[in-house]
Amino acid sequence: MIIVYVIDNYGELSNGTTITALRSKEQLEKRGHTVRVVTAGSVSGPEVYHLKKRYMPIVSPVSARQQMYFAKPDKVIMTEAFKDADVVHFFMPWKVSRYGIKLCRRLNIPYTAAFHTQPENITFGMGLGRFGGPIAWFIYRKFWIQFYRKVTHVHCPSAFISYELKNQHYKNRFHVISNGIAEVYHRGEKQVHEGYQILSTGRYALEKRQDIIIKAIAKSKHKDQIHLILAGQGPLEHKYRTLAHKLNVNTTFAFYSQKELIHKIQESDLYIHAADAEIEGIAALEAIACGLVPIIAESNKSATAQFAIDDRNIFKVNQVNELSEKIDYWLEHPKEREEMSVKYEHHAENYRLSHAISLLEQMFRQSIEDHKRAVVAKQKAQKKYRKLVTKTRLKKVMSWMVYYLIALPLLTIYLRLFRGIKIQNRKNIKAVKKGGVMISNHVHTLDSAMNAITVFPKKPVFTSIKSNFELPVAGKLVSILGSTPVPETPSEMKIFFYELSKQVRKGRIVHFFPEGELIKGDDKIRALKRGAFMLAEETMSPILPVGISFHEKRSVFPLFIKDRILINVGSPIYPDTLKLKKDSIEQLSNESQDAMNQLISVKFV
């Protein structure tokens, strides 16, 4: 593939985003891809396209002190960089990226984006701290309106930020991909030194909270034996130096090369990550990969605590006394610290750079495939099928009226009174708030209606075989109720997934019968087809399994039937964000098969 990176200040290694771009570019090129870079950063090379720096009063002077620059769009240079590209990837939502999207659309090139700029980092940089919530919300909305609503595929460095974006009502396809730990980060031979060495890595900025670490060590019983290393640079260095001197905490402030930093990690006894706001916390991952036991702040605006595998490695954000106690505990229990070191080293393997690059490649290919689907969906040859999948505004209104005012009430009365259906565990449906894929066994003529009653008041999107749409009268009803025909050709398959993915991202529930064929009264789960699990994986949405089973009637009610029907709703099953697409789909299918077998084995009570 020819991949184009658009990143304002590529080459400035003072922040995680530019380091991520550099590493991923190197790894992609090793795999045979061509990676071009459009930037205003101070780098050179055959595949680097230089833009001028954009000057903004007040903002530019402040950001320049942290070695952050903004690029000025240039149509000629960017058109040359985008020429023959397979995909363009935007790192930041700034002006050059917004112009880049317009150019991609004009040149008919697929594109993706990353979410590396956490609004809370901006508000902390403004000195607002935890009182910056309303402004952070405004920035989230601004990012969405100006940039991310125009992007389908978004790289999120952690599950935390993907959930945060969903809570902010972003409707993208989120790819949770760690920025990745390079192979050079590994356990080294432990060096003997006097006292204890504690390390923390990060920019000297308000949200990183190095002040909490200094204050906690000042309260430690082992204060006089501790050497604190704060690896980084930033605008608050003087403030933190003053604090460390005032509290008499032996502290080294320094910016290290990668080789030097690895050496410092390997010789340290503990790693502390005290940040209030953090999209991932790659510095903590790098330390963990070297077997360094962490103590991490648990904040609702930080992802880093997800790496902790024990409560003893977490402290409540801003709690100096708790952090001090945790420091003393680990320093006083060297045997436990060594055992935990091995566990953390093994745990970090899930976040290796090689695996992250495989997931990044997968995202780029998915974007290219979706672009092809969009092209196919607009072709005149697919007009007939497209009309069955996409609904006009009039059809949507008619569908809503027929569904809620006629079909659902009548079917509910019939199924409740004359089939005696019982629904268990509907609470599991409430857990699916942002859209998902519902699956059930296909064992009754009206099992679609049963599933519709189960998810009420939501109106699911049902999938149905194409021949049902061709029935004289029933076919019109199937279409009016909003069903989507299962595709029969590769072209129809592209439209099918393209349109249903949009529905799931809008918060809709899409229903599948993954067994395919209807076998009335079947008491076992048959082999499941892949379609439902492909859609769940592509949209990173949960599978909601439902089991329909038949049970002997124990009383006279309901009349006219020999058995009753139990509809049992299982817990949502989520795709594994750390796995490649093929493996994730297979795991979803296997877990769903097991869940449905358990659901139909439950007795009617």
What pLDDT is recorded for position 394?
80
Over pLDDT 90: what percentage of the chain?
Answer: 45
Over pLDDT 70: what percentage of the chain?
Answer: 90
Give CATH superfamily name and number for 196-351. Glycogen Phosphorylase B; (3.40.50.2000)
Plot region of 32 (φ>0 → left; ψ -120 to 50 → alpha; else → beta):
left
Average pLDDT over residues 344-350: 85
Residue 352 scores a pLDDT above 90: no
Say if CB 181 and CB 352 are below 8 A apart: yes
- When mean pLDDT is compared over 212-226, 389-403, 449-463, the highest value belongs to 212-226
CATH class name, domain 2-178:
alpha beta
Average pLDDT over residues 365-389: 77
Average pLDDT over residues 547-564: 71
Domain boundary assignment for the chain: 2-178, 196-351, 378-600
What pLDDT is recorded for position 482?
67
Least confident of 157-166, 344-353, 396-405, 555-564: 555-564
Mean pLDDT, all residues of the chain? 87
Task: Note whether 2-178 and 196-351 share their fold.
Answer: yes
Q: pTM of this prediction?
A: 0.73
What pLDDT is recorded for position 255?
92
Three-state secondary structure call for residue 568? strand
From the options 3.40.1130.10, 3.40.50.720, 1.10.150.20, 3.40.50.1220, give the CATH code of 378-600.
3.40.1130.10
Backbone angles phi, psi at 563, to 5 degrees: -140, 165
Question: For the CA atoms of 31, 24, 586, 281, what is the dihedral angle to 10 degrees?
Answer: 160
Average pLDDT over residues 458-486: 72
In terms of C-beta density within 10 A (0-12 exposed, 13-18 middle, 19 or more buried), how is residue 547 classed? buried
What pLDDT is recorded for position 130?
66
Higher pLDDT, 252 or 346: 252
Say if CB 514 and CB 528 are below 8 A apart: yes
Measured N-to-C along each axis, helices 282-289 and 16-30 cross at an angle, to the nearest 10 degrees, of 60
- When mean pLDDT is compared over 1-5, 468-472, 515-519, the highest value belongs to 1-5
What pLDDT is recorded for position 299?
86
pLDDT digits (tens, 9 = 90+) for 132-158: 778 889 999 999 999 999 999 999 988
How far the first Cα of the chain sits from its last, in Å, is 58
What pLDDT is recorded for position 599?
93
What pLDDT is recorded for position 65?
63
